[in-house]
Amino acid sequence: MGVTPGGSPGIARSRGHFRRIPFHCNKGYCIIDFMTEYRFTEYFEKEVLRKRPYLKKEWCVRVVQNPIRVEPQEHNRFRFWGEIEELGGRVLRVITLLDKRTIHNAFPDRGFTP
For residues 114 and 101, which has the higher predicted lDDT (pLDDT)?
101
* Residue 26 structural domain: 1-37
CA distance 43 to 55: 14
Same domain? 3 vs 45: no
Quote the CA–CA distance of 105 and 78 in Å, as a whole number: 10
Residue 114 lies in a domain: no
Query: Number of H helices and number of E strands within the chain?
Result: 3, 9
Please say whether the beta carbons of 97 and 41 come within 8 A: yes
Task: Read off the pLDDT of residues 18-73 as tens digits, 9 standing for 90 and up.
Answer: 444 444 455 555 544 555 689 999 999 999 999 999 999 999 999 999 999 999 99
This model's pTM is above 0.85: no
Query: 80 and 42 share a domain?
Result: yes
